[in-house]
Structure 1
Amino acid sequence: MFKRTKMEENDIVYKPSVKLDNNRGVEQQVDVQERGKDNPKIYFFIFAILALLATNIYFYIKYKSSSEQQTTILSEKIQMETELDRIEVELDRVTKENLNLTESLKATQDNARTKIEELRAKLTQNELNRTELQRAREEIAELRGAVSRYTKDIKQLKNENALLVSERDRLKESVTTATKKASELENINSELEHKVEIATALKLSSININAVRERKSNNESVETKAKRTDKLKIEFSIADNPLAKKAIYDVYIRVIEPNGNLLITENHIFEVDGVEMQYTDKTGIEFSNDGKLYTIEWKGAENFKPGTYTIVLYTNKGTMGKGTIRLT
């Protein structure tokens, strides 16, 4: 402010108001002091805002990480459950092949199914941490390896069974062939034996039958009348047979009456070619293949009847031959 040294009478003199300037200074000083008091509050609010922002960011990151982790765990659980399903399907497929498993393979299958149930129970738990999930993953890998070995063993067993079946069929075919061959040989042998039996059977080369009347002093005469006949005398010779065994043979006699009835006094039975037959009488002869003449006398009938009598001779190998005589 400028002051004039000389003033006119009517001049108005302006003097600075010291009081006004002093009031402004006080106001400015008060403003500065109030501003100084407000600074900590401002800093506090800024800090609080920053802390809240940091907390929000922290929880956002944490929640996001936790959510991603839960999503990952859920995805891995689903994958492991799918793997368990595949393992169980593989077990079911092998089981349906109806193989006769060894005790060891049965135990492996039972253990695998028990392990599958245990792992399913673990995976259904909602609070699986990373360590437990990793352990479950390792156990599933071990289970997969065990089932893989089990499937390989089953495949080997199946191959071995196929080889055994093939070998069995081959042996069965061999046995069938051998049995068939043995049966053929047996039939051939039977035929040969039958032929030998036929070839060794005794056959008559001649036979002559006479009706005999017994007289006093042991005299005999040949008869043709039935009423005067006391017995029949059968004379025969046996054809030469070098194959026949030289031995004593039983000769069975069948006497058939003129009416066709077989004359029997007792129920005598013999067998020839597997057939049982009745006979009238039996005697023994010694065969020596020398062509000699054999004689058999039969006096079984009380009264001979007119007509033709048939005499048939047998051994146990078959018919030797037959002859007839007619009585009047």
Structure 2
Amino acid sequence: MEQQKSNSSLKAIIVILSILLVGSLAYMYKMSTDNEATEKQYISEKDQLLSDLESAKASYDAAIADNSGLKSELEAERAKIEELIAQVKKAEGDVASLQKYKNSYFKLKNEMDNLLAENEELKKQNELLTVERDSTAVALNETRQYNDTLVAQNMKITEKASKLSIVNLTAEAFKERSSGKLVATDKARRVDKLKISFTIAANEVAQTGNRMFYVQVIDSKNNVLGEKQTETFGEYTLTYSFVTNAIYENKTVTVTEILSGSDFEKGLYHVNLFDKDKLVANDTFTLR
């Protein structure tokens, strides 16, 4: 009887110990599982916080690259983000310990949002000012080009207006009598004088002073009469019969010169008047 009671008590103790052991093992498993889940959550939230901080830093990098007027403020705030990144990377603990870093991030992010919004507004204003400046520059350039065109046109007009106008170039053949009187003739064998005349028209804007002209008389056989001297103007060489000078004072003046000669050929003669290398008048006459 005593033996049976002893066995029953032993069995009861074993059952109780077994229950306690199972409970202890279950508790230990739960604790292990909870710790593992907590560690995973900590790592996940830490990684997310670092990702958010790196994103904020990238936003500052982009804003600073714009080289706006807020560059120094942006660099100061970026430094705060970089410092917080370093602190989070070194941090060890649980999810609750991350909260202070999260709070710091939320505060910095709020400041970042405000600063980036201000920077974006400043950027838009600068772009608008750039467009206005470029438009003004274009308008000024167009005005300058227009003025340059007007100046060039006025210079051309002035240059054209200041040129002398030669009119009434004539060439006549004469026979000089012993008395000195000139008698007009068109018979080649009688001619010994050619009278060349031309008129310089009045021009108030033309330059006054001595004006030199080259007269070229060419006979029917293409010979240049008179002095047959040459003058070079750049690449152009002129052979002329004689040079005549006129004192010009902006008023109409007539110039007359006599070219003496003998043995004049029959046929068509050409008389050309040059202002340097520019042909300014010409005439023809015929001797028979």
Aligned to 1:129: 93
How far 1:242 sits from its partner (Å)?
A: 5.5
Contact 1:204 1:321 in 2 (8 A): yes
Q: Distance in 2 between matches of 1:151 and 1:302?
A: 102
Contact 2:233 2:277 in 1 (8 A): no
**2:215 is equivalent to residue 253 of structure 1:** yes
**2:131 is equivalent to residue 166 of structure 1:** yes
How far 1:252 sits from its partner (Å)?
A: 2.4
CA separation of 1:226 and 1:113: change in aligned 2, threshold 3 A = farther
Residue type of the alignment partner of 1:193 = T
Q: Which one of the candidate residues 79, 101, 105 is aligned to 2:48?
A: 79
Q: Distance in 2 between matches of 1:313 and 1:136?
A: 101
Tell me the alpha carbon deviations over residues 82-140 of structure 1, each in whole angstroms, 9 at most, x when there is no partner.
52465477568x48xx965369849967x9599679949965x8x93138745654664
Rg (Cα) greater in structure: 1
Residue aligned with 1:268, SS: strand
Contact 2:56 2:81 in 1 (8 A): no
The TM-score normalised by the length of structure 2 is 0.63
Aligned to 2:197: 235
Q: Distance in 2 between matches of 1:245 and 1:99?
A: 64
CA separation of 1:197 and 1:292: change in aligned 2, threshold 3 A = closer
* Higher normalized strand content (fraction of residues): 2
**2:161 is equivalent to residue 196 of structure 1:** yes
Q: Distance in 2 between matches of 1:287 and 1:84?
A: 90
Q: Distance in 2 between matches of 1:62 and 1:230?
A: 143
Q: Which one of the candidate residues 262, 273, 297 is aligned to 2:258?
A: 297
Contact 2:265 2:287 in 1 (8 A): yes
Aligned to 2:142: 177
Q: Which one of the candidate residues 63, 67, 79 is aligned to 2:32?
A: 63
The TM-score normalised by the length of structure 1 is 0.57
Aligned to 1:287: 248
How far 1:250 sits from its partner (Å)?
A: 1.6
Contact 2:271 2:283 in 1 (8 A): yes
Q: Distance in 1 between matches of 2:263 and 2:113?
A: 101
CA RMSD of aligned residues (A): 5.4
Q: Distance in 2 between matches of 1:276 and 1:144?
A: 83
Contact 1:269 1:278 in 2 (8 A): yes
Contact 1:253 1:279 in 2 (8 A): no
Give structure 2 stretches of 5+ with no counterpart.
Answer: none
Percent of pairs with identical residues = 19
| Moved segments of 4+, more than 6 Å | 44-51, 113-118, 261-264
CA separation of 1:284 and 1:75: change in aligned 2, threshold 3 A = same
How many pairs does the alignment contain? Answer: 278
Matches within 5 A, 1:1-328: 59=28, 62-63=31-32, 65-84=34-53, 86-87=55-56, 90=59, 94=62, 101=67, 105=71, 119=85, 128-130=92-94, 133-134=98-99, 137=102, 140-141=105-106, 144=109, 148=113, 151-152=116-117, 154-156=119-121, 158-186=123-151, 188-190=153-155, 192-194=157-159, 196-197=161-162, 201-205=164-168, 207-211=170-174, 224=186, 226=188, 232-241=194-203, 244=206, 246-259=208-221, 265-269=228-232, 278=238, 280=240, 281-288=242-249, 293-298=254-259, 304-315=264-275, 321-328=281-288
Residue aligned with 1:128, SS: coil
